[in-house]
Structure 1
Amino acid sequence: MEWIIHKVTNAGIYFLPLLIGVMAHEIAHGWAAERLGDPTARLAGRISINPLVHIDPLGTVVLPLMLYLLNAPFLFGWAKPVPVRMELLHGGRRGMARVALCGPLTNLMLAALSSLVYHGLMWSFRSAMLGHGSRWFLEPLILMAGTSVAINLVLMIVNLVPIPPLDGGRILVGLLPENAAVAVARLERYGMFIILLLIVTDVWSFLLGPLLQTLINIFLG
């Protein structure tokens, strides 16, 4: 019973930052697309803070829960992708690259904001002005802020990997010459299988772990 209570308590600390991170990521895509001439996401009701319109059963629920229960070194997930019509974007493929880049940049900004909150809470926790009795409620908030830094850095790094349909793949398609861009775009149908394979085989951690740890040390050190 204690194990269940511990897991449920920790789940809130880990899953709330993940939910906010993936929602903000997708909202940023929709917002950027609208600024570049494509209102599709807005018309579909996807530029919204309502989590129900963003939840993807596999990416927002099943995969993060599996990684959490398996004590994976980091949590990863995704929300339901916002609809974007490239033919409506100013700049075509390059416009799509700009839309794609806004998602990881949003996660970077959330990581930076969470870092400021983390250091502010840590200062308050260590402050002599606070009695021991008033510090207990700060501990889960500090853990959540630190977790938010790590999760948003993971979302930024992973999404910048140049494999479609990840944002890095879409950015690559937008920057390459047309023939090469078409060849890379064809990988999209296999992209999620490649990504899941890399996660399951732990190659993901081997490739991205050192960079992630370096950034976490910078933001939380």
Structure 2
Amino acid sequence: MLFSQSWADLPYIIITIIIGFTLHEFAHAYVAYKFGDPTAQKQGRLTLNPIAHLDPLGAIFIILVGFGWARPVPVNRYYFKRPRLAGVLVSLAGPVSNLILAFIGFVLFVVLYKTGITNGLPFDFFPFLQIFIQMNLLLFAFNLIPLPPLDGYRIIEDLVSSRIRAKMSQYEVYGSILFIVLVVTGLSNSTIFPYIRFVQGFFINLFQSILL
């Protein structure tokens, strides 16, 4: 399991996955809709109902190996008046939603710790909030990796010229294969995970400097 040393933390992880994945995909759908693309809305994805967004296999993978996925939100760039700008913002919306959730979790952690209002309650909020913060920062960092089909790759696609974008599309399948190889061979432990741990540490320190 990804974060816990025991199965006791599994409910915290499941709750975080439901919230983190749902808000991530909703954010993609909402921003696309605001830029004029009704595709996700017509397919019932402009909702906070987790059932519309969760992929059971993807949720299991993130619990077991640290990488997972939700159901991708369909986006039709032809509805955008400014496709590049809209494309970047739509792609950024998902990871940023996870960053915001992590910050909210950190604020709650600090408030509960300083006020002590949870003392005597049967539910220990602190292990849950720690996992909530860590996993949402993981989702933020992971989705910004510039490999297909992640959001980071889509952002780069919209930032480069049309010529480079066409070249990228030719090699997209190899990027997906590289990503699978990193995960299956365990090379992600020396490549992807150090990056994710760095991002987690950076933002936790940033949150601390803002709030403490």
Relative to the length of structure 1, the TM-score reads: 0.81
Cα distance, 1:146–1:168 mapped onto 2, change above 3 Å:
same
Instruction: Look up the match of 1:49.
Output: 48
**Which runs of at least 4 in structure 1 moved beyond 4 Å after TM superposition?**
none
Q: CA deviation at 1:111?
A: 0.9
Instruction: Look up the match of 2:62.
Output: 64
Paired letter, 1:42:
Q
Q: What RMSD in Å do the two structures reach over aligned CA positions?
A: 2.1
Listed as ranges, the gaps of 5+ residues in structure 1 are: 1-5, 68-74
Instruction: Look up the match of 2:106.
Output: 115
Q: CA deviation at 1:57?
A: 3.2
Instruction: State whether structure 2 residue 143 is matched by structure 1 residue 152.
Output: no
Is the contact made by 1:76 and 1:154 (CA closer than 8 Å) also made in structure 2?
Answer: no
Listed as ranges, the gaps of 5+ residues in structure 2 are: 1-5
Instruction: Look up the match of 1:180.
Output: 164
Paired letter, 2:69:
W
User: Can you list the C-alpha shifts for 1:154-189, whole angstroms capped at 9, x where unaligned?
Assistant: 111111112222111111010101111122233443
User: Can you list the C-alpha shifts for 1:28-50, whole angstroms capped at 9, x where unaligned?
Assistant: 00000000110111110011222
Equivalent residues in 2 for 1:57-206 (5 A)? 57-61=56-60, 63-67=61-65, 75-125=66-116, 134-137=120-123, 139=124, 141-199=125-183, 200-201=186-187, 202=189, 203-206=191-194
Describe the SS at the equivalent of 1:163: coil
Instruction: Look up the match of 2:3.
Output: none
Q: CA deviation at 1:151?
A: 0.9
Percent identity of the aligned residues? 31
Describe the SS at the equivalent of 1:81: coil
User: Can you list the C-alpha shifts for 1:66-95, whole angstroms capped at 9, x where unaligned?
Assistant: 22xxxxxxx442210111111112212332
Which whole-Å CA distance do the structure 2 matches of 1:148 and 1:186 have between them?
38
Cα distance, 1:44–1:152 mapped onto 2, change above 3 Å:
same
Which whole-Å CA distance do the structure 1 matches of 2:113 and 2:181 have between them?
38
Which whole-Å CA distance do the structure 2 matches of 1:165 and 1:34 have between them?
21
Is the contact made by 2:21 and 2:54 (CA closer than 8 Å) also made in structure 1?
Answer: no
Aligned residues: 200
Instruction: State whether structure 2 residue 204 is matched by structure 1 residue 216.
Output: yes
Larger mean Cα displacement after TM superposition, 204-213 or 174-183: 204-213
